[in-house]
Chain A
């Protein structure tokens, strides 16, 4: 081997590299899954939810003061802890919850904005 000679580098066979990429993809997915699971919701009062928190995971508690049903079968709760916010119930998991006006709930969900209004899109709902 002399200076200036061309060399070919082999990192592995096609199958070995493909397997390595597959393993990396699975590790990446697992990493994202655990990272998502470790995100702790911020516990706060409804009045402190603001637009800059859009996309953040929060936990709120309050009473259901209004339930509005849409023609498509979705319902929209107004949760009140002194201030109010809308919690859209689009997920079938929550539609089966036998909750009514006046019940106290704890909602963990993402702050989202719909039609210029802030909402909490629920990921978990607990009756208190």
Chain B
């Protein structure tokens, strides 16, 4: 319990430091052996990663700076909210995250039987499935938008293809300038804040639909190498034709948490590492068996509940603060944080990436096509590596 609390605290702190990922801190904990017991170290890391999956949605909402898993939130929540609507949105994020974990848990009891079969049957054809989905999503745009969507998908996909594994900037951070440009800077430059007073409720049938899509895309991503949370989010938004802000706010945390949970099951059932969380656990524990998996499931559930409680407590004061701040200052803050992150992690070359990504991001809003086509930056390289 104590180490779960420590993990949640660390996850919260990491989420407040832009650019410092939970993975960085996990590696520090592992490398320097700050906690001597392997079990307790693993528990702390699991709690850290899970709580971070909740708290990492704060920065995109406040400053418009997101990573591959949260950037789509930037695009949809680029609005200044009243205190009440901010609290409501926090509620949607918490609900999405918790439901994401709950629907994933039953799979634990079938993981050993189901995963090897699904893995072997899906792996060879997933590239084609992804390709067909992307073509379908471009095809359902209306009229000339089909062409514009194709242009946006190809431009962002080319950017991903050229830069991924090129050595142009540090391999671990090449997505930092790209996502800040595609979703952050382009929103800062081209979008005006809109005042949001009321958030629409999501109906129960819609929630079931969203959670089914979140679960399926997380299941795919947790099984297939080359797919991560970002690809799962893009896949889900494409698959479910999801464009409404409240839907996006619900489904992204659901995917994030379902993906984290399922990646532990994948590690247990077929021994594959598909997430930073599973990577940390494998580094510390090596192979994991059913009893350890049960322990980690407990830690996941507990840390999710604590994180949700902390977010509920934070929602009111944060909402009050945000509703008072001039949106112009938030834009400037977002721009400065973005520039600092890019320079720090990727240097001047990163600025060229961010510039190009910003142009592509602005184009997507000028063409009035869905911002999910920008996820071509992740999907096209994945498709190419799976098919070729």
Cβ distance A26 to chain B, nearest Cβ, rounded Å: 8
B356 at the A/B interface (Cβ < 8 Å)? yes
Interface residue ranges of A87-128 to B (CB < 8 Å): 91-93, 110, 112, 115-116, 121, 123
Contact with A along B204-232 (1 / 0, CB 8 A): 00000000000000000000010000000
Query: Which stretch from B78-86, B104-112, B165-173 is at the chain A interface?
Result: B165-173
Smallest CB gap from B272: residue in A: A72
Smallest CB gap from A28: residue in B: B356
Contact with A along B147-177 (1 / 0, CB 8 A): 0000100010011001101111111100000
Q: A72-B225, A116-B283 are in contact. Are A93 and B388 (CB under 8 A)?
A: yes
A33 at the A/B interface (Cβ < 8 Å)? yes
Known: A54-B172, A91-B388, A116-B283. 19 other contacts (CB 8 A): A17-B366, A21-B363, A22-B151, A24-B359, A25-B155, A25-B356, A26-B155, A29-B162, A32-B163, A32-B168, A35-B349, A36-B162, A36-B166, A36-B167, A39-B166, A39-B168, A55-B167, A115-B283, A121-B165
Cβ distance B283 to chain A, nearest Cβ, rounded Å: 7
A29 touches which of B151, B166, B356, B366 (Cβ 8 Å): B356
A57 touches which of B167, B272, B356, B385 (Cβ 8 Å): B167
> B-side interface residues toward A, CB under 8 Å?
123, 151, 155, 158-159, 162-163, 165-172, 225, 272, 282-283, 349, 352-353, 355-356, 359-360, 362-363, 366-367, 385, 388
Smallest CB gap from A93: residue in B: B388
Cβ distance B294 to chain A, nearest Cβ, rounded Å: 25
Let me know if B353 and A18 touch, CB within 8 A: no
Please indicate the chain B residues that have their CB under 8 angstroms from the CB of A55 in the complex. 167, 169-172
Q: A25-B363, A55-B167, A115-B283 are in contact. Are A31 and B352 (CB under 8 A)?
A: yes
Let me know if A25 and B167 touch, CB within 8 A: no
Cβ distance B5 to chain A, nearest Cβ, rounded Å: 28
Please indicate the chain B residues that have their CB under 8 angstroms from the CB of A17 in the complex. 366
Cβ distance B243 to chain A, nearest Cβ, rounded Å: 21
Smallest CB gap from A20: residue in B: B359
Task: Kindly state the separation between the CA atoms of A116 and B272 in the bound complex, as whole angstroms.
Answer: 17
A11 at the A/B interface (Cβ < 8 Å)? no
A-B contacts, 12 listed (Cβ < 8 Å): A18-B366, A22-B359, A22-B363, A25-B360, A29-B159, A36-B163, A55-B171, A56-B167, A91-B388, A110-B171, A115-B282, A116-B283
Task: Kindly state the separation between the CA atoms of A124 and B163 in the bound complex, as whole angstroms.
Answer: 16
Task: Kindly state the separation between the CA atoms of A116 and B352 in the bound complex, as whole angstroms.
Answer: 31
Contact with B along A61-75 (1 / 0, CB 8 A): 000000000001000
Smallest CB gap from A91: residue in B: B385
Let me know if A21 and B362 touch, CB within 8 A: yes
Cβ distance B15 to chain A, nearest Cβ, rounded Å: 25
Q: A21-B366, A39-B167 are in contact. Are A32 and B352 (CB under 8 A)?
A: yes
Let me know if B165 and A123 touch, CB within 8 A: yes
Contact with B along A18-56 (1 / 0, CB 8 A): 100110111011011101100100000000000000111
Task: Kindly state the separation between the CA atoms of A26 and B359 in the bound complex, as whole angstroms.
Answer: 9
Task: Kindly state the separation between the CA atoms of A14 and B363 in the bound complex, as whole angstroms.
Answer: 11
Cβ distance B75 to chain A, nearest Cβ, rounded Å: 17
Cβ distance A76 to chain B, nearest Cβ, rounded Å: 14
Cβ distance B361 to chain A, nearest Cβ, rounded Å: 9
Please indicate the chain A residues that have their CB under 8 angstroms from the CB of B353 in the complex. 32
Task: Kindly state the separation between the CA atoms of A110 and B165 in the bound complex, as whole angstroms.
Answer: 7
Q: A25-B359, A55-B167, A110-B165 are in contact. Are A32 and B159 (CB under 8 A)?
A: yes
Cβ distance B222 to chain A, nearest Cβ, rounded Å: 15
Let me know if B355 and A28 touch, CB within 8 A: yes
Smallest CB gap from B169: residue in A: A55
Task: Kindly state the separation between the CA atoms of A112 and B362 in the bound complex, as whole angstroms.
Answer: 33
Please indicate the chain B residues that have their CB under 8 angstroms from the CB of A35 in the complex. 168, 349, 352
Task: Kindly state the separation between the CA atoms of A22 and B158 in the bound complex, as whole angstroms.
Answer: 14
Cβ distance A96 to chain B, nearest Cβ, rounded Å: 11
In order of increasing CB-CB distance, the 6 nearest A-B pairs are A28-B356, A25-B359, A55-B171, A57-B167, A36-B166, A55-B170
Smallest CB gap from B119: residue in A: A72
Cβ distance A113 to chain B, nearest Cβ, rounded Å: 9
Let me know if B388 and A21 touch, CB within 8 A: no
Cβ distance B57 to chain A, nearest Cβ, rounded Å: 28
Let me know if A21 and B171 touch, CB within 8 A: no
Please indicate the chain A residues that have their CB under 8 angstroms from the CB of B272 in the complex. 72
Most A Cβ at <10 Å: residue of B162, B167, B168, B385:
B167
Task: Kindly state the separation between the CA atoms of A25 and B158 in the bound complex, as whole angstroms.
Answer: 11
Smallest CB gap from A112: residue in B: B171
